[in-house]
A = this chain, B = another copy of it.
Amino acid sequence: MEICVRLGRNVRRLREAQGWSQEDYADRAGIHRTYVSDIERGRRNPTITVVEKLAVPFAVPAGDLLA
């Protein structure tokens, strides 16, 4: 599966496991909600510094989001 799609599925799975809305999560990550929506749909190819921001609310290593 393409890496942007894997990232999106991992973000959605972890976000939903926390019971957070996209807006809740976006606020925690310091990223705009529409960007989170695009990420979850595999429609963004973010830089690694963005992946690190995405990982912070989940307290997981950034690399885990690409698995």
Contacts and interface: CB of A to CB of B under 8 A. Distances in A.
Interface of A: 3-4, 7, 45-49, 51-52, 61-67
15 contacts: A3-B48, A3-B49, A3-B51, A3-B52, A4-B49, A7-B48, A47-B48, A48-B66, A61-B63, A61-B66, A62-B63, A62-B66, A63-B64, A63-B66, A66-B66
Contacts of A51: 3, 48, 66
Shortest 4 CB-CB contacts between residues of A and residues of B: A63-B63, A63-B66, A45-B47, A3-B52
Q: How many copies does the complex hold?
A: 2
Contacts of A61: 63, 66-67
A6 B2 CA distance: 23
